[in-house]
Chains A and B, each alone.
Chain A
Amino acid sequence: MSVRGRGGWSKSPGFVPTALLWLIALLSIALLAFTLNSALRDATDFNRDIFGLAVPPDLQNFADAWRIGNMPWSFVNSVAYTSASVVLLLAIAFLAGFALSTIRFPGRMLMFLLIVGSILVPFQVIMAPFFLTLRDLGLLNNPVGLVLANVAFGLPFTTFVIAAYLRGIPREIYEAAVVDGAATRHLVWRIAAPLAVPILAVVGILNAIWMWNELLLPILLLSDKEQLPMVVALSLAQGIGLEGDPTQASAVAILGMVPMLIVFIVGHRYVVQGISLGHGK
């Protein structure tokens, strides 16, 4: 499915909608540009003339943000947690999605409710008991606990997406393999897995973005500063921006956005496809 600006239909929307569209977009760009400009200025210079240009650019705020955000180690942590979580999530969700979408077995509804139905139990609802459970398992202040939490809370949606996709594989393909003498487990690896690669890529990137940006889970589950992922380390270092130095806050915000900006530039097709999975055709 492609997401296009216009579906081969060229009647322009007219003045008011076009103006509205441009107004919001230009405002967004102006806000980002102001923030970037401020990040490149010295605080005293900023307070003297708030709308002045960063000429020449001063990189001190970024150097400070880099240090207080425990870079580059917090970045390494983010990469490690995100990739481990996504790989584990995709493997588990793929197996479950195959069973739910393709195999007919008694208790299918129950399994659907147990796995996809757990979307009813988001983290916020079970914050205290979930925390206690991880503590009892010895998984607090432990990256393994964060990875398992990421996987558990990502499973319902991811399993659903994969199941919905696998349901589209024509049954004849499996039946032919069964005639060949393939057992059901062979169908998983030899037929479903190769065909599922595109959806795994899309839903994997979407989950990676969510996990990378996650704040609440790591704040609650990790307390050792050295273990914090990038977004969290930067957020905690800055504290609440209201009282902070505006130029420093700008640099922290920009630095925190850079990795996702790169992901967006490189893979925006996948990102857009992933987000559009949420549409209820």
Chain B
Amino acid sequence: MTADSERVRRSRGHRSLARRVPVARLRVAHGRDLLTALVLLAPAVLLLVPLKWVPLAKGFALSFAETAGSASSFVGWANYERMLRDPASAVALGNGLKAILLLPVFVFLPLVVAFALFRGARGWRALRLVYFLPTVMPAVMLGLMFSMLLGPSGPLVAGFRAIGLDQLAVPVLGRTATAFPTMMVIVAWAWMGTGVIIYLASMATASRDTFDVATIDGAGYWTTLRHVVIPTFTPTIAYFAVTTGAGLLLWMYPLIFSLTGGGPGYATYMPEWHIYQAFTMNQNKGYASALGMTLFAFLAVFMIIQLRVLWSRSMGDER
């Protein structure tokens, strides 16, 4: 630490010199800098080209092929046509869309919680930790916990039975009608902490004036939330919505694995789970690739928005 402050101090000492002497500035691209840049970028590129970009191209090609052992033959759109007939695909896609339609819940529930914590609800210090905790837990273990809690010999069923509500005493994850909605409630719970953390970080950096007007007006919690918080933090909310949307299509595998295994039937299939099943259970690389390419097309919508934000925050607007 002392070494770096020494370095910084030394370089600051040269500032006046830097102003007087015309320096070959870093932003001027000359041959040596290009070479240095390429050397620094080489490890990342050498890893990502063979492990991500080439497989993407290979996946595109495979999606038009049928494979048997190591041989593969061109089958045109057959894999995509099969997708349209496959009932599991329809459920996976439908569930994916339902999850996306639920985005407002996933995005605004943490906002309500975060703003209440921010306004200093009684006991907020301890409450905050309770909300943060699930964010670090392995999702598969949270799923295992809920499969026990909601299972046929778990406390939910036993509790309803004990108070005489036998018609409600059902293993909700084991019924076609309730399995997927239940899973979405669990996702909302497990994902909430991430949103709370992101919103609190944003609120902490906002200027105090933002909220002062509302305080003077004597506006209550919900009014302030609607007329001050939501408009002020729209960029954060939008960004979180985009991340969550992509996450709903990409990070559901561990929860499905321990909650339902995709069942009952195909009731809790999601795109990612379906690809995994097509690839491992049926050993069908062509079909799994066609499903992957389709997911890619849906994800691109979210990811391109995200990428634009990433560009402007790390590379854009020159200083």
Contacts and interface: CB of A to CB of B under 8 A. Distances in A.
A264 B32 CA distance: 45
Interface in B144-195: 144-149, 151-155, 158-159, 171, 173-174, 189, 192, 194
Contacts of A121: 52-53, 55-56, 296
Residue in B10, B28, B116, B171 whose Cβ sees the most chain A Cβ within 10 Å: B116
Given A117-B307, A121-B296, A279-B202, A17 B36 contact: no
Given A9-B215, A253-B144, A104 B33 contact: yes
The secondary structure that dominates the B interface is helix
Contacts of B243: 278
A128 B12 contact: no
Contacts of A180: 11, 14
Given A10-B120, A119-B307, A216 B128 contact: no
Residue in A7, A13, A121, A216 whose Cβ sees the most chain B Cβ within 10 Å: A13
Interface residues of B, number: 151
B276 interface: yes
B221 to A, nearest CB: 4
Interface of A: 1-14, 16-18, 20-22, 24-25, 28-29, 31-32, 34-35, 38, 47, 50-51, 91-93, 95-96, 98-106, 108, 111-112, 114-122, 124-133, 148-149, 151-153, 155, 159-160, 163-164, 167, 171-180, 183-185, 188, 190-191, 194-195, 209, 212-213, 215-216, 220, 231, 234-235, 238, 240-242, 244, 246, 249-250, 252-253, 256-257, 260-261, 263-264, 268, 271-272, 275-276, 278-281
Given A155-B47, A194-B7, A252-B144, 15 more contacts: A1-B205, A9-B119, A16-B221, A17-B221, A50-B155, A51-B158, A95-B40, A118-B52, A121-B56, A124-B271, A125-B292, A160-B310, A176-B17, A177-B11, A272-B197
14 contacts: A5-B200, A12-B121, A16-B222, A25-B131, A91-B43, A92-B44, A111-B45, A116-B310, A118-B53, A119-B303, A129-B58, A175-B18, A178-B26, A280-B236
